[in-house]
Chain A
């Protein structure tokens, strides 16, 4: 984008610095909370690639993180594998494979069909983990041990140590940000942006949009898998609820709340949602009422998220470049083109 200042990357750097320094001052409980935020932020960033950059609204993203989590738990509990690289490869591989299959079916559709099909396929994955006894059933399973990185008999990283985990998660956040930043600037990311703005024209310029969408699905799935891996290690627990569509909807909210298509937005959104939930939950048992009202309010008055709000308040020009809520969805556009074609006939 033209003349866009480096405000967002700088904001991200400041956030990461804050997170890195937080354990020096923060109470143990809040350090745990921040770790949760970091993992959720990675999850939301991975979805941002689809929603914010490519314009693909999906409601089955938890299927990928959940798959990674379950594969990790199974390998640790049933095979006794705690080797960090091996677990990561397996978890991400499984998540990527799930994304490839679900993506292959889904990218043939768009708009509302895409939402419905990803929701339905995501629930299929949910039932797979819920019903097949091997995975531990409806109540979920606890992780018997935490992964560790050893080399020549020396333990370099032991994720059972909360502080080690904290900084590993933070490093992953930075890594994922850097990766997505790079991808978004590369020709690949430019095509994704083209697909979001005008899919038909992108195709007419010679880009195989299906293939790009599928690749975006797989990349997003892999990164969601990383988030799922970190989450199961963080909480030491995985259950079908982690794969449920409510989880997918929640991470979508995180993306919108922060501001989609910005990469920093998901971090801010994750922090806002986790802290808000904690606050509401302390206030009343009916905290979901307030979360629900909050979500509705965001949709109606804050469509460009907190980043957009900050932009508006700070009169920062780039905020206007964020995606407009009024933008037509791909479906209605497609329908229009079809009608035009027929109308001329």
Chain B
């Protein structure tokens, strides 16, 4: 991101230099040297070092991983709006529900995988119940009422969660198969589970893209995102389409909450945190656009990660400053109007 912003590193004793020299006497001198040279040339902060470069690489991975999680949540939010015309402030609450289900089910069943397998359908079911009971009354009403309804929903879901699972912060163990780290340097390593998150989210994103591009459901989604009346004209069952889309959105959010649980731990405020950031993602990307959600999520994921370490103390503002910049440039977001 902004390498120049890094101020308090002392160029003279960056550990990286030591690492390169220390390794050189070893067997594969030439490769190590050239690798070092490569990293030196892109040395990010004016200092030279492999460690620094590796750390930037890891930070990029961190940012991308966070971006992927954001994408899963934001894509549901933007789909539900684009197709159903509904603002769902309670979207983040389902992310939180997913995380708590992951905690509870993995304790009960003893298996994280099983927890996901059972938890996603439960969340989707919960989402559909809410859709049938509440949202169906709101489709034709002003956004104002959707906002208030879903705000009420946040309070209700939050308190039900408090009654069921309390307000404590819980940790969810990383499944044994995925625990451990890939060692990169003497002190630096990257946890395997985080790689898994990125891969799982990528898989989900690919499946989502495939569904939208190739299936009949996807055709309906694309059609109704462009022109809601057209779906009715085509004689499609709008009611069912809405249910499927809403369920899909909730499923993605809950799934994101579940796989995030081992790294972000499980706490009451998590739904609210992700909701606001997802809103920023959607606004930056352009409301209703899946592509926008993807690139917005990546942008925010990276900005947040680098903001946290490069500007300690003002990390939270980076995301919003970025949003303000984008909006000043393109008031309707980067991918507005598809």
Contacts and interface: CB of A to CB of B under 8 A. Distances in A.
A286 B162 contact: yes
Contact of B155 (A121, A295, A329): A295
A127 interface: yes
Given A112-B143, A119-B276, A130 B316 contact: yes
A116 B144 contact: no
B149 A332 contact: no
Interface stretch (A36-44, A222-230, A296-304): A296-304
B206 interface: no
B154 A128 contact: no
A117 B283 contact: yes
Given A123-B276, A299-B152, A115 B143 contact: yes
A82 interface: no
Nearest to B324: A124
Given A253-B151, A288-B159, A296-B149, A123 B142 contact: no
A108 B331 contact: yes
Given A124-B317, A256-B144, A329-B143, A296 B276 contact: no
Interface string B140-179: 1111110111011111111110110000000000000000
A233 interface: no
Interface in B106-141: 134, 137-138, 140-141
A100 interface: no
A328 B315 CA distance: 40
A66 to B, nearest CB: 15
A59 B147 contact: yes
B332 interface: yes
Contact of A289 (B87, B159, B327): B159
B159 A116 contact: no
Secondary structure of the A side of the interface? helix
Contacts of B144: 51, 57, 252, 256
Contact of B142 (A127, A292, A329): A329
A326 interface: yes
Contacts of B160: 289
3 A-B pairs with least C-beta separation: A292-B155, A295-B152, A289-B159
B74 to A, nearest CB: 12
B36 interface: no
Contacts of B316: 127, 130-131
In this complex, the member of B151, B153, B331 whose beta carbon has the largest number of chain A beta carbons within 10 angstroms is B151
B305 to A, nearest CB: 16
A120 B143 contact: no
A245 interface: yes
Nearest to A127: B316
A108 B158 CA distance: 34
B236 interface: no
B276 to A, nearest CB: 5
A291 interface: yes
A127 B159 contact: no
Contacts of A289: 155-156, 159-160, 163
Given A117-B327, A286-B159, A296 B153 contact: yes
A120 B280 contact: yes
A256 B151 CA distance: 13
A9 B105 CA distance: 57
A112 B142 contact: no
B141 A325 contact: yes
B155 A291 contact: yes
Contacts of B276: 119-120, 123, 245
Given A288-B155, A288-B158, A326 B323 contact: no
B279 A249 contact: no
Interface of B: 81, 85, 87, 89, 134, 137-138, 140-145, 147-149, 151-160, 162-163, 227, 272, 276, 279-280, 282-283, 287, 313-317, 320-321, 323-324, 327-328, 331-332
Interface in A228-275: 245-246, 249, 252-253, 256
Given A253-B148, A286-B162, A295-B151, A131 B313 contact: yes
Interface of A: 51, 57, 59, 105, 108-109, 111-113, 115-117, 119-121, 123-124, 127-128, 130-133, 245-246, 249, 252-253, 256, 286, 288-289, 291-296, 298-300, 303, 325-329, 331-332, 339
A211 to B, nearest CB: 17
Contacts of A339: 227
Contacts of A111: 143
Contacts of B159: 286, 288-289, 292
17 contacts: A57-B147, A105-B324, A105-B327, A109-B331, A113-B283, A116-B87, A119-B279, A121-B324, A123-B276, A123-B280, A124-B324, A127-B317, A131-B314, A131-B317, A249-B151, A292-B156, A299-B149
Given A249-B151, A253-B148, A120 B279 contact: yes
Nearest to B284: A120
A245 B181 CA distance: 39
B299 to A, nearest CB: 14
Contact of A286 (B142, B163, B315): B163
Contacts of A117: 283, 327
Contact of B81 (A109, A112, A253): A112
A128 to B, nearest CB: 7
A331 to B, nearest CB: 8
A262 to B, nearest CB: 15
Contact of A113 (B148, B153, B332): B332
Nearest to B227: A339
A57 B142 contact: yes
Contacts of A328: 142
A326 B96 CA distance: 32
In this complex, the member of B140, B158, B279 whose beta carbon has the largest number of chain A beta carbons within 10 angstroms is B279
Given A109-B332, A131-B313, A329-B143, A292 B154 contact: yes
B331 to A, nearest CB: 5
A233 B141 CA distance: 39
A95 B157 CA distance: 34
Given A124-B317, A124-B324, A57 B149 contact: no
Contacts of A293: 152, 156
B130 to A, nearest CB: 10
A116 B157 CA distance: 22
